[in-house]
Amino acid sequence: MSKFDLVVERNFFVMGEDATYTPASGDPITIKVMPRRPDEILDIGDTMIVTGTNVFELRVADIAAPAENDTITFKGKSYIVQGEPQARDSDRLIWTLNTRPA
């Protein structure tokens, strides 16, 4: 295990929050996630609209192949994975999932 693996594992242990990940066809799994809710700015003609988003980061070690339409339940609310999951860090240890409320 590399030093970066250890840092990611420690960060999720300390800062991660409990959630349930349910594949579209499979059993629920309890995991740690790091939720982010950045605002997204949409330009439509001369109008700018600011909208909230629901993004979750989770460890590749916990979910090997997240997919569109899988569900994350976090703090009693369910979110559906939309679009292709991204492994954004350089070592491909963390998935970044864009979601929408279920």
Domain at 35, CATH number = 2.40.10
Q: Is residue 73 scored above 70 in pLDDT?
A: yes
Counting the structural domains of the chain, the total is 1
Give the domain range for residue 76.
3-101
- The pTM (predicted TM-score) of the whole model is 0.80
pLDDT band at 37 (very low <50, low <70, confident <90, very high): low
Q: Which residues of 38-47 are buried (b: 16+ CB within 10 A; e: fewer)?
A: eeeeeeeeee
Q: Do 13 and 32 touch, CB atoms closer than 8 A?
A: yes
Handedness of CA 11, 14, 15, 21 (dihedral sign): positive
Report DSSP state, residue 82. Answer: -
